[in-house]
Amino acid sequence: MFRVEDPASKSSAAAFAPPNAGTRGRVDVIFNPISGTGDPDTDAALIEQHLGVSFGTVTIRRTTPDVGAAELARAALDDGADVVVASGGDGTVGEVAAVLVDAEKGSGLVGGSGPDGDGGRRVRLGVIPRGTANAFAAALGIPSSVTAAADLIATGVSRPIDAVWMNGRLMILLGGVGLEAAVVSKADRGLKRRLGPLAYVLSGIHAIREQRTFRVRVELTDVEDTSDSGVVVTVPTARVENLVVKGLTVANVAPPTSVLAQGLGAVRPDDGLVEVVAYTAGGTLHSISALFRLFLSGVLLRRTRLAGVRAVRARGVRVVCEPRQLVVIDGEEVGEADMVVTQGETRRQFEVLAPPAVEMKRARRRLARTLGKVARNVRGLLLFGVTVAILQSVRPLFGEDEDAERVGVASL
């Protein structure tokens, strides 16, 4: 049934370090020099310096208009890299991750048993975010600072992330139709360079005003749904016909700022399921309110109970739109098509050097408690202010102003 229902710092990165962290191996950095607004030469030098403390060999491989991140990542594997680091935006991270997962599928070299059952060669993905949104890093608690992210990689602490494919392409974040696609298409590169993440906010407001509804047929496998009473129900298959929506998003990894992926209280990247969120809300004001509630759902780790939002988890998803809609995957337009999400015949994961999942949950819970206290205090202050205003407005009815004036005269 388909129905409603802060990042790690440099110091905290050091706290994750196990004994003898940073064995003397080889790390190759796939470096996109046009990402971000900082000086690329300075960033590359800092990365090399910080990784050099814990790795015997550090190689910086810069992308060019003719040589992309995927080609450089394959070269890094061929040269025996133990860690391949993606330094750029989410697009760079996705290209490098796809190479690592493909290598595992082909030969068992990456993060799993080799073809002879010898355990293979374990190659992990590091991320040093230097893009506009850096949603993948933000969702996993990877620091936004170049040096702090490099120090985190040196600790050797990693966590598994599900390998999910949408329309045959590895999806490290999320994909969608309708609102999700409209936000991406309106936030062009020029706008993102000028405004940074604010570009997505502005494009989102325009998308809310202009997006028209459309019909979808949704087919789900291995579905996990939660009733209003909190009971989790699992069914092998589910199908919804003629659902009228403004947008539908399927997420594997997403920070709270990816509001269209929220609705279940958390996007879990390692449970073998994806989050499916259908958005059916109406007018502009209602839509803005609903999106704010979705953002709070992601921050406070609470499932959204909101008319106009339907959310479940599933292993496989197929979405057919009428009429056809533009599909986006990980912030990139891929044309008009159906959405088909799979995880292969056997579940696969890739290892990302990031804070442990348990540490991320603790940090998010602490943030949720802090925000809850702030909200209660704000409500208390507002109530106090309203009470004072009401008392001041009724004082003349009891002659208090006149009495106060007499007291003032008497005191003179």
Domain 169-347 carries which CATH code? 2.60.200.40
- Segments in 232-283 forming alpha helices (H): none
> What are the counts of helices (DSSP H) followed by strands (DSSP E) for the chain?
12, 18
The CA distances from residue 238 to 128, 222, 273, 316, in Å, are 39, 8, 14, 10
Task: State which CATH number among 3.40.50.10330, 1.10.10.10, 3.30.930.10, 3.90.650.10 fits the domain covering 10-156.
Answer: 3.40.50.10330
Per the DSSP assignment, residues forming a β-bridge with 275 are: 251, 313
Mean pLDDT of 271-293: 79
Mean pLDDT of 377-381: 58
Task: Quick: pLDDT tens for 256-268.
Answer: 878 888 878 788 9
Task: Quick: pLDDT tens for 39-59.
Answer: 999 999 999 999 999 999 999
Residue 241 scores a pLDDT above 90: yes
Under the banding of pLDDT at 50, 70 and 90, the label for residue 18 is: very low
Q: Which residue has the higher pLDDT, 73 or 202?
A: 73
Distance CA 221, CA 126 (A): 32
For all residues of the chain together, what is the average pLDDT? Answer: 79
Q: What are the sequence ranges of the domains in the chain?
A: 10-156, 169-347
Q: Do domains 10-156 and 169-347 have the same CATH topology?
A: no
Sign of CA dihedral 168, 173, 179, 183: negative
Task: Please choose, from the candidates 3, 39, 95, 60, the residue with its C-alpha nearest in 3D space to the C-alpha of residue 311.
Answer: 3
> What integer pLDDT is reported at residue 193 of this predicted model?
59
